[in-house]
Each structure stands twice: as structure tokens, then as C-alpha cells.
């Protein structure tokens, strides 16, 4: 196992770390006497437990081996390298795709005395647990919650990924630059979907775009989407007639694990199926989409934005380890999990405490000084990662064919630059054919 070191460690030991030594004692005799006083540390010989709540069964399948075989191993190896007699253990659990279950798991950790955890994989799950986290002295880091409604100063939720406050205007520019004029909204009925739509609609109409009909907001517990798709198909037919081409009609497709079912059923609704979908992290590099609905994904393409990943040896080393362990494609969200582990470890060792109350005020400054596997982990005033550029991912045939994903792969179709507010398309890739903005 190659240890991928991710911390800027300057200052880790200074002011309260293990191995603090007093300055040599000053004596008045002719004999020089040097003494060293070792300061005992509260964490010496302890095992620090951290909670982890996977958002769904699918997440647990990859998160658990990733935590067990790489993140825990590297955290313990690095603690030993620094001379700390401390071990780390992740307690893996699963919300099963349910917000109420997620809250129950958070409460369960608190009853065990575990106040620091990684969870809130879905924004609705983070939202359901936020009040309890705040009032019970806990700290939760999320690697994939992006709802703008959770950008709250001073709360106990921190996010290693950027908020979708930056995603919505990026989606507007990406879709407009592709030549889309009319947009159908097909979204999850939760805080994540609502947050993006509420920012997207005014920005889209200000750009000159049209919202096709009423938004289609489906129940998050739905397993059959035919009724929703019928409504969207009617809207798509009208939009195609109005614009003169399906290539000018987009779909703002905001979904999570239900994505493969939606796009599989979409093939039975030809007008909807012929339009151009755009999405966020819920549809980007979707393992289940590639495995369960490969041909539909290739047909629809589904241009989806995800925060860009750094080009570094550190990132590539973890990518190789993750894909060898899980047989799944590595994304920035996998790297965020790794970095969260080292944020917890660094601040707990500095404070010499595993308790959230003792480390919560260290999070922002620690991250400001940290270059992790996913790059600089600078946070904004809400405890969310400062927005990086967005890669534009889409689905196309594997070259050569990938049997693990039924011949479907994710490819980078372009880039949205958050600083310049510009979109660049890679038109050399098959199926990336922007029209006239």
C-alpha cells in the first residue's frame, strides 16, 4: 500500500501536540545540564472511533472497502510516522437511502460517545440530521452534499465539496453554450433538487432561455416514474415544436440512485428521450447508470457537472488504489472522503481530543493550510469548499469496450471555468456537438 500523504504538516505538533519538549533548562553552575520534559498526551494508547454513514446500499458497497483498506490504513500509518501512539477506526453504517434512518444512525453514534462522523451523503439526509447535530455537540463532514440551502454559517455541518450555489449558474452557461433554448425541469422533490432549481430558473430566463411547462418534481420514494415521464414527454413535444429541434431542448435532470430507472423508462417516451439532458453530481460518472442502463446513457449522453480533480501524483495514486479495490471509477468524491479522514485526524491530534466541541473551531484554518488529494481544501464562510472549476462529464461507448460497465464509460466533454464564467467543449469526442448559443 502506498501512503498518499495529504497534509501540510507545518505546525501540527506546535502548541499542544504529542512529543512536545521543553527548552533546555538553564543552570548557574559550570556544569551544563540539559533536561527534557515530555508532556503526556490524553490520546496516548487510544483508538479513536469515527462514524461513517453511507447514503445508500450502493454507497456502502464502495465506501466500506475504501475506508477499511486505504483510508484507515493510511491514517494510522501517518499517525505512527508522526510518533503518535493512536489508532483510528471507522464505524461504517448505512442510511439505506432514507432521511429518517440517517438521523437514527447519527443518534446512535451520539449514544456511543462518537461525536465526529462522515455522513449526509445526500443533502436531504444532512438536512434531516442538522438540528440534532447542532444541539448535541457533534460535527459531521459530508463529501457529496451540495444543496445551497445547507450553506449556513456557524452550523455543525462542513462540506468537502462545493455548494450548488456555484453549480446552478454553471449549468446555465453550459446548456446555453451547447445551443439549448428551452429547458424541461425533471427533479427530485427534496432540498437538493429545490435548491438548484430555485437558483437555475431565474438565471436561465435572464439569459434568454425558456422553461418548458411546469417543473416535474417527483417523490423521492418513487420507484416507477412513468407518470412523471408522461408529463415531461408532453412538455418535450411542445418545446420541440416551438424551437424546431430536439437539439435545442434540454432537460435539467436532477436525480441520484434512481437515475438508472429513470433513463431506462425514458426510452418509452420518445420526445423526452430525444432531448439533451444536463445534470450535476448525481448523474456524473454514475457507476449504476453505466452498469444498469448503458445503452440509454450512451443515447442520452447526460452532460453532468462535477468539481474538477487536480492533476497530481497524489490523486493518481489514490485513483489506482480505489479502482483496484472497488472495481469502480474513481471521482473527486472518493478523494473528498480520504481528505475528510485526514482533516479529522489532524485537528484531533492538534487538540488532543476526539470530541467535536474541541476541534470544530479548528476546521476552517486547518483546511486553509491543507493541500489534500483533491487539491487545496479552502472553505468559504459557510464551511463549504470554495468552488473550483467544473468538469463536464457525459456517457459514450468504451474504447475498448469495458465489460464491467457494459460497454459504457464516462468521458470529460469539457470544462466550465468558475473564474472566467466560460464553457469550453471538447468537440473531438463522439457526440459532443454544440449548436449555436
Look at residue 11 and tell me whether its pLDDT is greater than 60.
no
Residues in CB range of 113: below 8 A, 6 or more apart: none
Place of cell 452532460: 303
CATH homologous superfamily of domain 46-163+310-376? Response regulator (3.40.50.2300)
Per-residue DSSP letters for 285-314? T-HHHHHHSHHHHHHH--EEEEEPPP-SHH
| Cell of residue 215, nine digits | 417543473
Fold held by 167-308+388-425: Rossmann fold (3.40.50)
H-helix or E-strand spanning residue 66: helix 57-66
pLDDT by residue (tens digit) across 373-408? 999 999 999 999 988 899 999 999 987 655 555 689
pLDDT higher than 80, residue 148 = yes
- Interhelix angle 313-326/57-66, rounded to 10 degrees, is 120
Q: Tell me the pTM.
A: 0.72
Residue 312 pLDDT greater than 90, yes or no: no
- The whole-angstrom separation of Cα 159 and Cα 44 is 29
CA distance 74 to 289: 31
Fold match between 46-163+310-376 and 167-308+388-425? yes
Condensed to tens digits (0 to 9), the pLDDT of residues 54-81 reads: 999 989 999 999 999 999 999 999 999 9
Between CA 378 and CA 159 the distance in angstroms is 11
What is the arithmetic mean of pLDDT over 289-313? Answer: 92
Mean pLDDT estimate for the chain: 89
For the chain, give every domain's residue range.
46-163+310-376, 167-308+388-425
User: pLDDT tens digits for 227-270?
Assistant: 999 999 999 999 999 999 999 999 999 999 899 999 999 999 99
Amino acid at each position: 500500500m502506498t501512503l498518499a500523504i495529504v497534509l501540510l504538516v507545518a505546525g501540527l505538533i506546535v502548541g499542544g501536540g504529542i512529543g512536545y519538549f521543553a527548552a533546555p533548562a538553564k543552570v548557574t553552575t559550570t556544569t551544563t545540564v540539559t533536561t527534557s520534559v515530555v508532556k503526556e498526551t490524553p490520546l496516548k494508547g487510544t483508538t479513536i472511533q469515527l462514524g461513517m454513514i453511507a447514503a445508500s446500499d450502493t454507497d456502502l458497497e464502495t465506501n466500506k472497502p475504501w475506508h477499511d483498506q486505504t483510508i484507515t490504513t493510511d491514517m494510522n500509518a501517518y499517525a505512527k510516522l508522526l510518533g503518535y501512539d493512536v489508532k483510528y477506526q471507522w464505524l461504517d453504517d448505512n442510511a439505506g437511502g432514507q432521511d429518517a434512518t440517517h438521523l437514527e444512525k447519527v443518534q446512535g453514534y451520539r449514544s456511543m460517545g462518537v461525536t465526529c462522523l462522515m455522513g449526509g451523503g445526500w443533502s436531504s439526509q444532512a438536512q434531516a440530521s442538522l438540528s440534532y447535530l447542532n444541539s448535541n455537540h457533534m460535527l459531521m463532514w459530508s463529501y457529496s452534499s451540495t444543496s445551497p440551502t445547507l450553506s449556513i454559517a456557524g452550523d455543525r455541518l462542513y462540506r468537502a465539496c462545493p455548494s450548488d450555489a456555484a453549480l446552478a449558474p454553471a449549468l446555465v452557461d453550459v446548456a446555453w453554450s451547447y445551443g439549448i433554448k428551452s429547458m424541461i425541469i425533471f427533479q427530485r422533490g427534496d432540498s437538493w433538487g429545490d435548491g438548484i432549481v430555485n437558483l437555475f430558473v431565474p438565471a436561465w430566463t435572464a439569459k434568454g432561455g425558456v422553461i418548458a411547462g411546469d417543473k416535474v418534481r417527483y417523490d423521492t420514494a418513487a420507484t416507477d416514474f412513468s407518470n412523471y415521464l408522461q408529463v415531461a414527454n408532453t412538455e418535450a413535444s411542445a418545446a420541440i415544436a416551438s424551437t424546431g429541434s430536439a437539439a435545442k431542448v434540454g432537460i435539467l435532470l436532477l436525480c441520484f440512485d434512481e437515475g438508472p430507472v429513470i433513463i431506462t423508462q425514458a426510452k418509452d417516451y420518445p420526445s423526452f428521450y430525444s432531448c439533451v439532458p444536463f445534470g450535476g453530481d448525481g448523474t456524473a460518472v454514475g457507476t449504476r447508470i453505466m452498469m444498469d442502463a448503458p445503452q440509454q446513457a450512451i443515447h442520452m449522453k447526460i452532460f453532468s457537472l462535477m468539481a474538477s480533480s487536480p492533476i497530481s501524483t497524489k490523486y493518481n495514486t489514490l485513483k489506482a488504489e480505489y479502482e483496484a479495490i472497488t472495481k469502480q471509477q474513481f471521482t473527486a468524491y472518493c478523494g473528498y472522503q480520504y481528505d475528510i479522514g485526514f482533516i479529522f485526524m489532524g485537528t484531533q491530534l492538534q487538540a488532543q481530543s476526539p470530541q467535536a466541541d474541541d476541534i470544530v473551531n479548528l476546521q476552517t484554518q486547518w483546511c486553509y493550510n491543507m493541500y489534500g488529494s483533491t487539491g487545496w481544501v479552502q472553505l468559504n464562510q459557510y464551511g463549504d469548499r470554495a468552488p473550483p472549476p467544473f468538469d463536464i462529464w457525459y456517457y459514450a461507448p468504451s474504447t475498448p469496450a469495458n465489460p464491467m460497465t457494459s460497454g459504457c464509460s464516462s468521458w470529460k466533454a469539457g470544462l466550465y471555468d468558475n473564474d472566467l464564467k466560460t464553457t469550453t467543449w471538447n468537440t473531438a469526442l463522439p457526440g459532443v456537438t454544440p449548436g449555436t448559443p
